[in-house]
């Protein structure tokens, strides 16, 4: 009798060991499973929030999708209806494709966006789940893996295209509005026991990403340049300040002296009277060089209401302001090497007063500011051309920007920064880069050449070019990241 019990216990123990180390035996045996390579030893999928998250709108995920994932995801989303984005940090696959496809539909049903963060990774069934995001974005350093599946002794490609075995995947991709070509491509990309990492071109071709950044970018620009914001004229732009402050707060930017506000007084050059301005300043702490700073600046003020007409300044400079906010969010989610200060400047239109005040009363020693990036008018150009201004006096940054520019669909031009070049206006003192340049702080401005609506009441949201704008912000983001990670002449 004892012997029987011991034998039974031994069998049970072996069973448990098998299930723990080879869960695909239990979960992945059915026809058409995308069984992951390294499933054994991987933890099962967990959903969680991060410490110090100011708002529970971003949910994080790590681990392999398994039989309980559907229940888990429903539970966490039911409990936290404010979740808008699922950040997939490392989801190497699924050991239950049936559950995965249903759990993924749940994500789409609830209009959740998916995001692959810096150095993030999804593969196999994890990639399928990523595709469920309503809006989908991928950090340039993140990886997406695809491969075929096999059902027992038969590989997916051995089943004819009209075979039932393909149906659940095809139905899923159709539901997710992913071209069904994507499915056949994954089968060819790598066999079931290998992985193919998607190239940039493949990600584009199969609609893996949508333009999440672009939609938020445009939303903020549209709002800032609506009549309700009265042209954001200095002294009348409190509503704009509130929007920027609340955005800074929501994403959790750090403050200097416990406030984003930096109030200053300046003299109006026409009336000679004193006026007040307010810069809004926050920062993200750097991972490797927390005491060395990159400044990202853009002026949020515009011309206000002139003779009863609102000058909305959609391009000048709701475009730069919105880019600043979206990048602040990006760098908060993807910690940079250097600390980054985000400075929304007031009273630029009246003589660069906000940025002058910033460099005269800097929140950190000026010698610790390694570079300033300035965005002023970046959302329209009839020639698809964007100027990078500042590489003539600061040539050390040019090779890095050129590297990023090579991958951009934009015509990236350099200039307006050589005082001897009489063919072009000199822009080193025409925007908020000027005060930084005067102090000898390296600076790069992104700006387009003037357009017919420049400083006119017709500088409206309807007249900007969303695709151009999105491409410029991508160029800016990639340039800043490359410079942050490979800072020249330290």
Tell me the closest approach of the beta carbon of residue 447 to Zn ion, in angstroms: 8
Tell me the closest approach of the beta carbon of residue 377 to Zn ion, in angstroms: 6
Residue with Cβ nearer Zn ion (126 or 313): 313
Tell me the closest approach of the beta carbon of residue 234 to Zn ion, in angstroms: 13
Residue with Cβ nearer Zn ion (94 or 279): 279
Residue with Cβ nearer Zn ion (90 or 349): 349
Tell me the closest approach of the beta carbon of residue 314 to Zn ion, in angstroms: 12
The residues binding Zn ion (CB under 5 A) are: 316-317, 376
Residue with Cβ nearer Zn ion (46 or 450): 450
Tell me the closest approach of the beta carbon of residue 361 to Zn ion, in angstroms: 22
Tell me the closest approach of the beta carbon of residue 376 to Zn ion, in angstroms: 4
Residue with Cβ nearer Zn ion (27 or 427): 427
Tell me the closest approach of the beta carbon of residue 198 to Zn ion, in angstroms: 39
Residue with Cβ nearer Zn ion (266 or 293): 266
Instruction: Kindly report the three-state secondary structure assignment for every residue of the chain.
Output: CHHHHHHHHHHHHHHHHHHHHCHHHHHCCCCCECCCCCCCCCCECEEECCCCCCCCCEEEEECEECCCHHHHHHHHHHHCCCCCEEEEEEECCECCHHHHHHHHHHHHHCCCEEEECCCCEEECHHHHHHCCCCCEEECCCCEEEECCCEECCEEHHHCCCCCHHHHHHHHHHHHCCCCCHHHHHHHHHCCCCCCEECCHHHHHHCCCCCCHHHHHHHHHHHHHCCHHHHHHECCCCHHHHHHHHHHHHHHCCECECCECEEEEEEECCCCCCEEEEEEEEEEECCCCEEEEEEEEEEECCECEEECCEEECCHHHHHHHHHHHHHHHHHHHHCCCCEEEEEEEECCCCCCCHHHHHHHHCCCCCHHHEEEEEEECCCCCCCCCEEEEECCCCCHHHHHHHHHHHCCCCCEEEECCCCCCCCCCCCCCCCCCHHHHHHCCCCEEEEECCCCCCCCCCCCCHHHCCHHHHHHHHHHHHHHHHHHHHCCCCC
Residue with Cβ nearer Zn ion (241 or 319): 319
Residue with Cβ nearer Zn ion (300 or 331): 300
Tell me the closest approach of the beta carbon of residue 98 to Zn ion, in angstroms: 55
């Amino acid at each position: 009798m004892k012997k029987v019990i011991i034998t039974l216990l031994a069998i049970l123990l072996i069973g448990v060991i098998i299930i723990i180390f080879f869960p695909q035996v239990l979960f992945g045996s059915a026809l058409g499973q995308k069984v992951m390579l390294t499933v054994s030893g991987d933890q099962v999928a967990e959903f969680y929030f991060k410490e110090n998250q100011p708002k529970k709108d971003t949910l994080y995920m790590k681990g392999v999708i398994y039989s309980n994932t559907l229940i888990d995801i429903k539970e966490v989303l039911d409990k936290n209806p404010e979740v808008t984005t699922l950040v997939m940090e490392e989801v190497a696959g699924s050991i239950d494709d049936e559950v995965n496809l249903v759990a993924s539909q749940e994500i789409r049903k609830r209009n959740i966006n998916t995001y692959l963060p810096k150095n993030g990774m999804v593969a196999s069934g994890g990639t399928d789940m990523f595709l469920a995001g309503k809006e989908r974005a991928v950090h340039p350093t993140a990886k997406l893996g695809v491969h075929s599946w096999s059902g027992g002794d038969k590989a997916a490609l051995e089943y004819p295209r009209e075979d039932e075995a393909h149906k659940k995947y095809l139905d899923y991709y159709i539901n997710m509005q992913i071209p069904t070509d994507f499915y056949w491509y994954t089968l060819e990309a790598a066999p079931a026991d290998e992985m193919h990492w998607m190239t940039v071109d493949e990600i584009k071709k199969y609609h893996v990403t949508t333009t999440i950044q672009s939609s938020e970018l445009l939303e903020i620009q549209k709002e800032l340049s609506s009549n309700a914001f009265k042209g954001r004229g200095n002294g009348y732009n409190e509503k704009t300040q509130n929007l920027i402050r609340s955005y800074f707060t929501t994403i959790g930017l750090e403050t200097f002296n416990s406030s984003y506000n930096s109030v200053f007084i300046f003299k109006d050059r026409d009336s000679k009277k004193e006026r007040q301005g307010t810069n809004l300043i926050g920062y993200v702490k750097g991972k490797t060089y927390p005491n060395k700073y990159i400044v990202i600046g853009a002026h949020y003020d515009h011309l206000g209401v002139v003779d009863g007409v609102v000058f909305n300044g959609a391009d000048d400079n709701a475009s730069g302001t919105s880019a600043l906010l979206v990048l602040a969010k990006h760098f908060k989610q993807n910690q940079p090497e250097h600390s980054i200060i985000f400075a929304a400047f007031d009273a630029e239109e009246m003589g660069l007063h906000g940025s002058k005040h910033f460099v005269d009363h800097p929140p950190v020693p000026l010698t610790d500011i390694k570079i300033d990036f300035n965005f002023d008018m970046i959302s329209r150009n009839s020639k698809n051309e964007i100027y990078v201004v500042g590489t003539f006096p600061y040539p050390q940054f040019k090779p890095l920007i050129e590297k990023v520019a090579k991958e951009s669909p934009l015509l990236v031009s350099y200039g307006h920064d050589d005082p001897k070049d009489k063919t072009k206006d000199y822009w080193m003192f025409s925007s908020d880069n000027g005060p930084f340049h005067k102090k000898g702080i390296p600076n790069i401005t992104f700006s387009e050449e003037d357009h017919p609506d420049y400083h006119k009441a017709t500088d409206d949201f309807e007249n900007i070019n969303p695709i151009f704008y999105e491409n410029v912000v991508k160029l800016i983001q990639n340039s800043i990241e490359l410079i942050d990670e490979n800072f020249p002449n330290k």
